[in-house]
């Protein structure tokens, strides 16, 4: 194959992988996200992030984004199961993914100190507020959750410093919002609450949509859109 044909093939595969990831994410949102754990649920949930990672890798995307997406896939699989151990594995995987995004955003951006102070203050208030509405309800997971809150807040702060990359910034805050909904589901909502189903749908759409926007906005040297 000529260099031109190889580049064309890579670009074609990029969009194929993105399409597969988006389709699987939509199927999961409609049919699986609000249902109890099952093998089919885990399989469908495990498709979008590796597909997005493959789209970035095949087309010379940023390695930090590829790694963060693969770590997120590990978290997806872990959280598809019940129990404290899978939750802890998922928490660690997503925490590592957030570290990857913090490094990536910091490399691309100007740093959070150039962002409007009102936004910085809002993130700080959010992080501190979890000591009232979240941490007291987490039991033995108190310190892992605290560390996770710090990491997602850092991701939000570094996303504020992305110049000219609004898709990635919106994606980062959608990801943060999905984590917030998940924490409410796990620690503040009863299993029988009527809000469980809409919360599951909103969580997944924000999470998958946020990851896609981060990929589209900062996964390559030039944004996808």
Is the pLDDT confidence value at 111 over 70? no
Is the pLDDT confidence value at 112 over 70? no
Global pTM? 0.95
Sign of CA pseudo-dihedral 202, 208, 210, 216: negative
pLDDT band at 218 (very low <50, low <70, confident <90, very high): very high
Average pLDDT rounded to a whole number, residues 153-177 = 94
Distance CA 71, CA 65 (A): 10
Average pLDDT rounded to a whole number, residues 187-201 = 92
Closest of 19, 17, 24, 69 to residue 42, by C-alpha: 24
- Distance of alpha carbon 128 from its chain centroid, rounded? 21
Q: What is the DSSP letter of 175?
A: H
Is the pLDDT confidence value at 115 over 80? no
- Percent of the chain residues past pLDDT 70, beyond the cut: 98
- Sequence-distant (≥ 6) Cβ neighbours of residue 135 within 8 angstroms: 142, 145, 146
- Percent of the chain residues past pLDDT 90, beyond the cut: 82
Contacts of the segment 72-75: beta carbons below 8 A, 24+ positions apart: 72/97, 72/211, 73/46, 73/49
- Cα(first)–Cα(last) distance of the chain, in Å? 28
Helix (H) or strand (E) holding 168: helix 166-187
Q: Where are the domains of the chain?
A: 3-218
């Amino acid at each position: 194959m000529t260099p031109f044909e190889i580049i064309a093939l890579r670009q074609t595969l990029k969009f194929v992988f993105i399409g597969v990831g988006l389709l699987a994410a939509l199927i999961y949102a409609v049919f699986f996200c609000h249902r109890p754990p099952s093998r089919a649920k885990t399989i469908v949930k495990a498709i979008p992030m590796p597909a997005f990672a493959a789209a970035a890798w095949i087309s010379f995307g940023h390695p930090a984004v590829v790694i963060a997406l693969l770590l997120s896939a590990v978290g997806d699989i872990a959280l598809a199961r019940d129990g404290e151990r899978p939750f802890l594995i998922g928490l660690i995987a997503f925490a590592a993914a957030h570290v990857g995004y913090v490094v990536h955003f910091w490399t691309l951006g100007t740093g959070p100190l150039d962002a409007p102070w009102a936004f910085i203050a809002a993130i700080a208030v959010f992080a501190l507020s979890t000591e009232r509405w979240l941490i007291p309800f987490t039991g033995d997971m108190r310190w892992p959750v605290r560390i996770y809150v710090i990491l997602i807040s850092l991701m939000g702060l570094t996303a504020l410093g992305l110049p000219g990359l609004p898709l990635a910034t919106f994606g980062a805050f959608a990801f943060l919002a999905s984590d917030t909904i998940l924490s409410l589901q796990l620690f503040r909502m009863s299993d029988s609450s009527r809000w469980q189903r809409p919360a599951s749908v909103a969580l997944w759409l924000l999470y998958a949509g946020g990851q896609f926007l981060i990929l589209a906005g900062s996964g390559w040297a030039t944004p996808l859109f």
